[in-house]
Chain A
Amino acid sequence: MKKSSTTLSYVTTKDFRNGVRFQWRKAFILAENELKAIRNNKPLLVNAFFNPILYLVFFMAGLRGMAGDIQIGNGVEIDFLMFTLPGIFMMLVISLMGHTVYRSTIDKRWGLLGYKFMNGISPLAYVSGLIVYPFLVFIGQTFLLAGLSFFYGLQYSLIHLLLTILMGMVAIVFWCCIGIIITTRVNDYHQRDMVLGLLQLPLLFTAPAFYAIESAPSYIQMIASFNPVTYQVTAIRSIFIGYPDFTMICITVLISTGALLLAILLIRKAELVSREH
């Protein structure tokens, strides 16, 4: 509306969402808020803490005696536990997607998404805020698991461990963004829970998380080639054991970047008034 007859100058509500810019401060406030929310969700905390440890101590350590060493692609043989520990890291990465799903669901269902955006949270700040908790859990758990693995005689360099954590965080970006994408696109939460429930285990079991893909039946190998976990776990493992596979690392970085961009795009266009049912 041109206001030729007055000195008043106007903006329209259509300018509101377009005017939002990324601010570190807002992302920090959001992250702080997320950590407070987690404090009140003790089952999630307990689950995130114990599950990977239980897998390592009871499942993988138990299988180790039966499995022996595993030969990886470049002819190198490694201890079964050394092979599967990155698989447990990856399992942790995927499980952390659940956090972003339930938090972004609350935002969408109860109208907080609109409240946050209208307060200047940009889509990138929103994703950043939601990812902080998964990052912290992953870092903490990886150190804990790595520490425990010493008791089983595993040896690796600290640098490799730190780079593994970094690679894991790249994978977390991918899965958390997938969680946000699912939340923005699916309005029926029963359908969403079903998708997530069906997704997690098959993703891990159709990728070389706990076994060498070369020894799997050909149909699993074919499915694995379409499974992002295949690339991510291979990248993480290659760094962890000290033989970095740059092709897998690049693919992992690329798909995470793609998921991040898609999540930002979809959040930017997301409806701010819920039609959830």
Chain B
Amino acid sequence: MEKNSCKAAICVDHVSLKYYNGVYGIRDISVALNKGELIALIGANGAGKSTFLNVLCGLLQPTEGDIYYDKKIIDVSTPFHQIGWSKQTHAIDWYLNVYDNVFFGARMSGMKKKEAKQRTLEVLELVGLLELKDRDVDALSGGQQQRVQIARALVHNASILILDEPTTGLDAQTSENLLNHLRERANDGVIVIVSSHDLNLVDAFCDKVLLLKEGKIVTFESKQQFLARYVDKEVLTIAYEGDLPPVAIQQLEEIAYFVENDHQIRLEIAREMQVGTIIRIIDPYVRVVDIKRDSPGLREAYLEVAREKGEVTQG
């Protein structure tokens, strides 16, 4: 991103954070975050995801570069009125019960008592904690504690949601509900940035992928571009009746790597290859009963990138 050219809601401009010991937490990160985008922040442990999120919301100051927020969506005297924030470790008050933790967030965001009460109950219902609202947070499971923190991040109508591994410790259904909700918020124009290791899950909801490695950007682009860039294969599974003759097997081997097993073949084919090409080879000998084509997702793409060492591209 060129300085002075950014017109997004949030512009991260050549931001680095160097610790006292000389090690960089993040290095030369430039991204533009637009309203209505749900961005998946991914990377291995220690890649700089949490550091980046802490810098993004102002809790850590960059040692180089700057982060620019559109003045229309943020008030510098109360930035967290517009930012819903949840950190990796539970930033909750251990001496308050579930309700009071979330209610405090609502009051802090500027709501009057009556509105804060109503909104607190709504968001507790959303995260499935309404029945546990009077329980002390230290008596909850790790996943439930995580939900308290998420509820507090969602309790006010923030323009930006910055959530560091929100699905950690959550059961599958709650994770999916949460990401569904975040998707809806993004559709309403909220900027949502979520770090997660649960790539299969975020795959279904995110618009863009920001991949960090050793504090640097490996890629920042739309999910489709990311997948197209790093995953050029698909898996085709064909079930059939009859026997494939050696001549057909030889023809298939020339086209793609494949495995034959009990009247079923699995082929790794190029994304652009037509299924008809395969069918034409086997159709004279067997009766095709089922065809399934699987596109690899974010997880496979991430693993592909992880195999490549040190490549830096930015979309």
Q: Is A76 engaged at the interface, CB distance under 8 Å to the other chain?
A: no
Residues on B with C-beta less than 8 A from A29 are 104, 107-108
Residues on A with C-beta less than 8 A from B72 are 8-9
Judge whether A120 and B78 touch: CB under 8 Å. yes
Q: A1-B6, A11-B68 are in contact. Are A33 and B76 (CB under 8 A)?
A: no
Q: Is B67 engaged at the interface, CB distance under 8 Å to the other chain?
A: yes
Q: Which of A9, A10, A118 contacts B59 (CB 8 A)?
A: A118
Count how many pairs of residues, one from A and one from B, have CB atoms less than 8 Å apart in the complex: 126
Residues on B with C-beta less than 8 A from A1 are 3-4, 6, 11, 13, 66, 68
Judge whether B59 and A3 touch: CB under 8 Å. no
Please report the C-alpha to C-alpha distance between residue A8 and residue B75 in the assembled complex, in whole angstroms: 14
Judge whether B70 and A16 touch: CB under 8 Å. no
Q: Is B203 engaged at the interface, CB distance under 8 Å to the other chain?
A: no
Judge whether A33 and B93 touch: CB under 8 Å. yes
Binds B, one of A34-42, A78-86, A180-188: A34-42
Residues on B with C-beta less than 8 A from A17 are 58
Residues on B with C-beta less than 8 A from A8 are 7, 70-72
Closest chain A CB from B12 CB (angstroms): 10
Residues on A with C-beta less than 8 A from B71 are 8-11
Judge whether A12 and B66 touch: CB under 8 Å. yes
Q: Is B95 engaged at the interface, CB distance under 8 Å to the other chain?
A: yes
Residues on A with C-beta less than 8 A from B5 are 5
Contact code string A261-277 (vs B, CB < 8 Å = 1, else 0) = 00000000000110000
Judge whether B100 and A118 touch: CB under 8 Å. no
Judge whether B58 and A118 touch: CB under 8 Å. yes
Closest chain B CB from A96 CB (angstroms): 16
Interface size on A, residues (CB 8 A): 41
Look across to chain B and name the residue whose beta carbon is closest to the beta carbon of A14. B61
Judge whether B96 and A110 touch: CB under 8 Å. no
Q: Known contacts A8-B71, A11-B71; can you find 9 more A-B pairs with CB under 8 A?
A: A4-B4, A5-B4, A9-B70, A11-B68, A15-B76, A19-B75, A36-B100, A37-B95, A110-B89
Q: Which residues of B contact A (CB under 8 A)?
A: 3-7, 11, 13, 54-62, 66-72, 74-81, 83, 85, 87, 89-97, 100, 104, 107-109, 136
Q: Top 9 closest A-B pairs, CB basis?
A: A19-B76, A120-B78, A13-B58, A37-B95, A118-B80, A111-B91, A10-B68, A119-B108, A16-B58
Q: Which residues of A contact B (CB under 8 A)?
A: 1-6, 8-21, 26, 29, 33, 36-38, 40-41, 106, 110-112, 114-116, 118-121, 272-273
Q: What are 22 A-B pairs with beta-carbon distances under 8 A?
A: A1-B11, A9-B72, A10-B68, A12-B69, A13-B79, A21-B77, A29-B104, A29-B108, A33-B100, A37-B95, A38-B95, A40-B97, A106-B95, A111-B89, A115-B108, A118-B57, A119-B81, A119-B109, A120-B78, A120-B108, A272-B59, A272-B60
